[in-house]
Amino acid sequence: MIRSRFGTFRGLVRLALSYPQLALGRSASVAPDPAKVRRLVFVCQGNICRSAFADIVARQAGAASASFGLSTTTGRPAHGPAIAAAQILGHDLSSHVAIDLKDYAPQAGDLLLAMEVRQMHRLAADRRVRHLPRMLLGRWTRPMLPHLHDPYQLDDRYMLQCLIRVEQAVKRLVSAYPGARPS
């Protein structure tokens, strides 16, 4: 059950720890002015599973979006099992190309959406992006899951479960920020 719902025992522990971090203001979140959000920017470690999928879902929902990874190689394709799980959910991830943080071009109106609290802290420490508002994507899942554990090289059932959660969150997020639509 842990492998299919949380990825690993570590994923379950990180999820449990993320609730008090969020409640105590230790998540490094910086809430945006909803009227100023023009683009949703999804962030994860490698930009080949979670953030890549979130970007595709947001675009298909009509939002202006982008994605990048905190530690990846620009040009890397999406992870094979993520492509397969996305296809089950009706999304094509096969043409995704990863972008590393150093190659991301911040824009006014960007809202950064990370998958984990530790990623939020990395964003807060980076001089190029620390001025941008940032939140955890998992705040839009139901129930709220502030830690969306990395499915890379984990159980295929968890990959699908993780992407279902990401899809659910992105659809709620797009409704919450109608200004993030291309003009």
User: Residue 3: what pLDDT?
Assistant: 83
Q: d(Cα 148, Cα 163) in Å, to the nearest integer?
A: 9
Encoded amino acid at 38, one letter:
R
Domain 2-176 grouped into CATH 3.40.50.300: no
Query: Taking the chain, what is the end-to-end CA distance rounded to the nearest angstrom?
Result: 44
Do 80 and 10 form a contact (C-beta atoms < 8 A)?
no
Q: Using one digit for the tens of pLDDT, what is the confidence trace for 6-55?
A: 888 898 899 999 999 989 889 999 999 999 999 999 999 999 999 999 99
Question: Taking the complete model, does pTM exceed 0.75, yes or no?
Answer: yes
* Least confident piece of the model among 62-71, 92-101, 113-122, 148-157: 148-157
